[in-house]
Structure 1
Amino acid sequence: MKLGLRLPQRLGVDLRHDLVEAARTAEAAGYASVWTYEQLLFAETPLEPYAPPDVPWPESGRQTADPLAVLTAAAVVTQEVRLGTAVLIAALHTPVQLAKALATIDQISGGRVVAGLGAGWSTDGLQATGATRADRGPFLDETLDVFDAVWGPDPVTFRSPRVIIDNAAVLPKPVSKIPVMLAGGASNLGRGGSSKAMQRIARRADGWLPLLTTPGPAGAAELRANWDRIREMASGYGRDTSRMELVVVGNVTFTDRPAGPDRSAFVGTLDQVMDDIHTAEEAGADELIVDLNLQDWFTNTSRMLETAVKIRERA
């Protein structure tokens, strides 16, 4: 299993210097990829909690630097790591401009972009761009359709409720096909269930970007069952599942003492986090994204990178 590292975007980060340092350090340490995430704004009185039932939004979220700008900076100072988004919220973007931006970064990087997308959930961010919660799924599907069209041969002709392209060149094109990963899903897939999100992944995506939330053998079994179900559905759509990737996201929160048996995955000491990394591997993950953005000390990028290097060496 490969490891990826989320890049610094949060409050207190020196965007002029820390992005370059983090990208270069990640590549030198042997990380296979670097990733960005998206949060458009920070509402003083949010319409939804950060996580159910009432987890507050972390203060670090007052700044989340633009994910595509951060990825461009990483592209310029690295040579080999993949450059991923985990995730972009489709409804926050106009599809043609997003497709063009991703293709441009892919050209700058020599073909290293991975486009991770999600439907989103924060009403505050959605309404700032003129979208609603009801738009999330349809706008994501439309974005995927636009990617297929404008990343294909010119001239492009395409029509959807928001997008009309009539016999036009849309350049640049990606170096090659940009892998499109999708987030989202439901916990009951291992018992034979399905969801609209999982059906979309099975039908259209090059891979799945789930969170690992349950530690230990139970978490590995649940994740493996869900992934098996996705690939079973994908096979039913006539797709080649051997080319699909499982890239797990690990949102790390370190504690001074070992967390108890009811802890969430990636919450605890370094030893417990290492156990969770192995849990993702046991579940069949092709790659794990190590996200240290939740740490208060992440504003000290040097300390964050020391920990990131230590995790890579121990893994």
Structure 2
Amino acid sequence: MKFGILLPTRWLVLTEPKPDNIDTIIRMSLSAERAGLHSVWVGDSLTAKPRLEPLTILSALATVTQKIKLGTSVLIAPLRHPVLLSQSASSVDVISGGRVILGLGVGGAFNEAQRREWLNAGVNPKTRGARFEEMLPLIKKLTKGETVNFEGNHFNLKDVNVALSSPNTDGVRLILASHWNSGISRQIWRVPRLADGFISISDYPNEYKNLALSIKDQSIDAGKDYDSMDKVFYMTININSDVDHATSEADKFLNQYYGMNIWGDRWGPYGTTEHIVERIRQYQSCGAETVVIRFAAFDQERQMELFINEILTEF
């Protein structure tokens, strides 16, 4: 089992007084690398859930770390133009020596803030799925250093080459947000045809197992090697021997983070290390090979210390 840590780029916006530097994020990244963790990750939103821009912060972290992978979980690709996104992703991959994992999602338009985000970016939210599917092959080709000519419904590119490429011969690694509980079969179809793996955020363990098995079946149809794919689960936790306190703090954190607790008990677990270890093992047995941990707590560094000392040691 490999572990990653979600860095608190949104927490920096929410906390008061707002810090005027990224020292907390740098310290957490260095702690993660010293502890032998697989990766650090950052989330994304332009205006609906403001935070530090993901590829900018990963570029900064690339200069202070040596080996740890640098991921987005997840970047809302259809808000961007594929050429600009490919240039930025390739740049960070070059700076980091090929350590970028570009976790990408279609994004949502479930509330007014999200709908405004799309419209202010000049994108019709109803087109986000179609834009996403056009973008993914373009991003892969451009980050491999290929010259691209393409005419589509949303993008038209003529003799485009971003003039730099990922140190990895197959371009920047792409993983896609995919959820069994969404009921959207297209998410499963995309993974083996357009990406290198998948990440689920809201599935229960049995749902994650169904997701993984379905993607494995689709991989056979697509001629993709399932074993080589990244299989990631994003887990939100709060470590505290007082379960009521852990649950209360997590709920408060998530309400501030999203404006509401959008997925209820699909978040978690909260509470004792034993409970959290058991839950991680459930996802491991259902096919997850990497778990990205987000701390639903206001003392992020203390939670990370507890995770490294009390949970990581169990794996």
Give the TM-score of the pair, scaled to structure 2.
Answer: 0.81
Q: Offset of 1:181 from its aligned partner? A: 0.3
Q: Specify the code of the residue in structure 2 equivalent to 1:280.
A: Y
Partners of 2:214 and 2:42 in 1: CA distance: 28
Kindly report the root-mean-square deviation, in angstroms, between the aligned alpha carbons of the 2 structures. Answer: 2.3
Mapped pair 1:145 → 2:151: no
The aligned counterpart of 1:269 is: 271
Q: Offset of 1:213 from its aligned partner? A: 4.2
Partners of 2:151 and 2:144 in 1: CA distance: 15
- Aligned with 2:181: secondary structure? coil
The aligned counterpart of 1:75 is: 62
The aligned counterpart of 1:50 is: none
Mapped pair 1:297 → 2:299: yes
* The one of 190, 194, 198 aligned to 2:188: 198
Unaligned runs of 5+ in 1: 43-60
Aligned residues: 281
Asked whether the equivalents of residues 180 and 210 of structure 2 are also in contact (C-alpha less than 8 Å), the reply is no
The aligned counterpart of 2:124 is: 132
Partners of 2:107 and 2:217 in 1: CA distance: 25
Partners of 1:213 and 1:183 in 2: CA distance: 11
Higher relative contact order (CA 8 A, sep 6+): 1
The aligned counterpart of 1:55 is: none
Cα pair distance change 1:92/1:267, threshold 3 Å: same
- Aligned with 2:282: secondary structure? helix
Q: Specify the code of the residue in structure 1 equivalent to 2:130.
A: P
Partners of 1:268 and 1:308 in 2: CA distance: 12
Q: Offset of 1:314 from its aligned partner? A: 3.8
Cα pair distance change 1:212/1:283, threshold 3 Å: farther
Q: Specify the code of the residue in structure 2 equivalent to 1:236.
A: D
Asked whether the equivalents of residues 185 and 195 of structure 1 are also in contact (C-alpha less than 8 Å), the reply is no
Which string of whole-angstrom CA distances, capped at 9 and with x for unpartnered residues, describes residues 222-257 of structure 1?
Answer: 322220111101211222222112111102245632
The aligned counterpart of 1:49 is: none
Unaligned runs of 5+ in 2: 109-113, 248-263
Partners of 2:192 and 2:140 in 1: CA distance: 16
* The one of 104, 108, 120 aligned to 2:95: 108
Mapped pair 1:99 → 2:89: no
Partners of 1:87 and 1:230 in 2: CA distance: 19
- Aligned with 2:46: secondary structure? coil
Higher share of residues assigned helix: 2
The aligned counterpart of 1:183 is: 177
Asked whether the equivalents of residues 114 and 181 of structure 1 are also in contact (C-alpha less than 8 Å), the reply is yes
Partners of 1:147 and 1:278 in 2: CA distance: 34
The aligned counterpart of 1:257 is: 243
Partners of 1:33 and 1:304 in 2: CA distance: 17
- Aligned with 1:139: secondary structure? helix
Give the TM-score of the pair, scaled to structure 1.
Answer: 0.81
Asked whether the equivalents of residues 156 and 170 of structure 1 are also in contact (C-alpha less than 8 Å), the reply is no
